[in-house]
Amino acid sequence: MPPHRQDFGLNRPEGGRRGLAINFRSATSSVRRGSTVLPSVLTFLVIVASGGLLMMIEKGMLNGMETPAPRGSGRRTDLIRQRRGPGGVDVEAQILQEIRNRTIKTMCRQRNMPHSIWSLSPLQRKTLLQHVLVNDEYRFLYCYVPKVACSNWKRVLKVLSGALESVDVNIKMDHRSDLTFLSSLKPEEIRYRLKHYFKFMFVREPMERLLSAYRNKFGEIESYQKKYGVEIIKRYRKGHAKVQSVRGDDVTFTEFVRYLVDEDVERMNEHWMPMYNLCQPCAMSYDFIGSYERLENDADFVLQRVNVPHFVHFPERQTWYKPVTTETLHYYLCSLPQKLLRELLPKYILDFSLFTYPLPNMTVEHCRH
């Protein structure tokens, strides 16, 4: 028996922008019978529509927003509880996709937003094309975002190309070899694939992704400690500007955030560059945007959608993986001066708004708990 496929209502008309077409009215009514529908996401959507996000950050008006709990347990649980409708369809997943699609469509319609990859600046286009992976056999494009399960997706692509025997092979991942990047193709080849291939990306709660990058790169990777850690400590730690013995292996989270506040988002390292700048969802129309918070289900949907062989599955998390728990994220964010957090959030505001993640609640009262 073939595996059951969740129907996310993919619609692929000829030409023009393509997206997910879902019967939003009927899906919503199905969920209303049992529970309140995605209160935090829906509330945030209203805020997005009002167009006052940056002003609200400055005035502290979003401090009461409830952030979805980061998923730090060994199991890959969903951002929202699965609620199945008739025929086994995940209705709440459909609603989340529809909200995200409508939000992106509305915000990307603004005059100052890019409407194709050719309207991007040379630097923006270079960044995007260097992060889009191509599979011609199964006709899909995947924009990878570091710290959003991209290593496992690269394993899948290598298995599909024959470079790896199995996604479960225990080897160190080479992030460049045996992979085809959109940047390696000619303009006419790029245009053809953008028009005809299935395009997807995965996103993650922005602050959780940042913390994951900080803990991994400055806690475990010596090359990052030397290249970025030394610079950060010399620049932001009092009395260390001319210290020659700095090793860069003890960067604090506050120092890291100060560094991010002063950085140009378009020139950041890919591990903390905003997801928007990496994958440009206004310039490149994605057929599906999955969530790290429901990684297993969304990855399974993509693999079935592109019709990969039955023996190809999305890998389990590596045994060495250190999850970001709710408590850990809460601790690190509450350790930041509120003024510094308010300066950081605008750099990632499009990640919060386009991908419908509520802003973190970092009031004094909330942090006391």
Q: What does the alpha-carbon distance between residue 291 and residue 100 come to, in Å, rounded to a whole number?
A: 11
How does pLDDT run across 246-255, given as a tens digit for each residue?
A: 999 999 999 9
Q: Are 303 and 313 in contact (CB under 8 A)?
A: yes
DSSP track, 159-185: HHHTS-S-TT------SSTT-EEGGGS
Q: Beta-carbon neighbour count of residue 320 at 10 Å?
A: 6
- Every domain of the chain and the residues it spans: 127-203+281-305
Per-residue confidence (pLDDT) for residue 261, from 0 to 100: 98
- Low-confidence residues of the chain: pLDDT under 70: 1-89, 318-320
Per-residue confidence (pLDDT) for residue 87, from 0 to 100: 54
Q: Are 305 and 216 in contact (CB under 8 A)?
A: no
How does pLDDT run across 269-303, given as a tens digit for each residue?
A: 999 999 999 999 999 999 999 999 999 999 999 99
Alpha helices per DSSP H over 290-348: 295-305, 326-334, 338-344
Strands 180-181, 140-143: parallel, antiparallel or unpaired by DSSP?
A: unpaired
Q: What does the radius of gyration of the chain's CA atoms come to, in whole angstroms?
A: 21
Per-residue confidence (pLDDT) for residue 11, from 0 to 100: 39
- Which amino acid belongs to residue 273? M
Q: Is 98 helix (H, G, I), strand (E, B) or coil?
A: helix
Q: Are 315 and 168 in contact (CB under 8 A)?
A: yes
Q: Are 260 and 272 in contact (CB under 8 A)?
A: yes
Could you tell me the two tokens for 333? 């964010």
Q: What does the alpha-carbon distance between residue 40 and residue 286 come to, in Å, rounded to a whole number?
A: 24
Q: Are 293 and 204 in contact (CB under 8 A)?
A: yes
Query: Which residues, including other chains, have CB under 8 Å from residue 104's CB and lie 6 or more apart?
Result: 281, 282, 289, 354
Nearest Cα to Cα of residue 238 among 262, 226, 255? 255
Cα distances (Å, whole numbers) of residue 340 to 92, 256, 330? 35, 11, 15
Query: At residue 238, what are phi and psi to the nearest 5 degrees?
Result: -55, 130
Q: Are 128 and 134 in contact (CB under 8 A)?
A: no
Strands 140-143, 198-203: parallel, antiparallel or unpaired by DSSP?
A: parallel
